[in-house]
């Protein structure tokens, strides 16, 4: 097992998180990713004020991620003029806070948030999403 130099370690940056999220997404089953064609993964430290208000969050740490877009049932084959692609936001600071409080690998948490944000929007059950996470190539 590789030893981590914690004395010199820093929290992952926004760019590090983007790399982690892209790698996590790449491990998901092909069928799941095919549903998400054109998905954009965006990393921010925290949700903006409008999102916090819309989601009825008590603090900026309450939301780990968010899906914005249309599910397959509402989406036509092609985007309409002026329509944004489906997007997932991952919120770095709340995810890091969650990571610090739980005994899980950071990559597993990022994968979990990605799958759940996308899966809930497409109407998947918790069991379906557990299966997708289990099928992720590690």
What are 4-25's pLDDT values in tens digits? 888 988 999 999 999 999 999 9
Is 4 inside any structural domain?
A: no
Count of domains forming the chain: 1
Range of the domain at 107: 14-71+83-135
Task: Tell me the CATH number at 20.
Answer: 3.30.2010.20
> Distance of CA 65 to CAs 1, 74, 81, 93, Å?
31, 21, 26, 11
Is 67 inside any structural domain?
A: yes
Is 8 inside any structural domain?
A: no
Is 126 inside any structural domain?
A: yes
Q: What is the pTM of this model?
A: 0.86
Is 111 inside any structural domain?
A: yes
Q: Which tops the pLDDT comparison, 13 or 78?
A: 13
Residue 80 has pLDDT above 90, yes or no: no
Is 91 inside any structural domain?
A: yes
> Distance of CA 20 to CAs 15, 23, 55, 65, 117, Å?
9, 5, 25, 14, 16
pLDDT digits (tens, 9 = 90+) for 94-115: 999 999 999 999 999 999 999 9
Residue 72 has pLDDT above 70, yes or no: no
């Amino acid at each position: 097992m590789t030893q981590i130099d914690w004395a010199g370690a820093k929290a992952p940056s926004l760019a590090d998180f983007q790399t982690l999220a892209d790698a996590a997404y790449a491990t998901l089953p092909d069928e799941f990713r095919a549903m998400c064609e054109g998905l954009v993964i965006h990393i921010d430290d925290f949700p903006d004020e409008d999102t916090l208000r819309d989601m009825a969050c008590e603090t900026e740490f309450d939301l780990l991620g968010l899906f914005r877009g249309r599910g397959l049932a509402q989406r036509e084959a092609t985007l309409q003029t002026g329509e944004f692609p489906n997007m997932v936001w991952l919120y770095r600071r709340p995810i890091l806070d969650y990571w610090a409080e739980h005994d899980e690998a950071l990559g597993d948490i990022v994968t979990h948030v990605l799958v759940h944000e996308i899966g809930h929007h497409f109407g998947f059950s918790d069991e379906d999403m557990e299966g997708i996470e289990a099928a992720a190539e590690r």
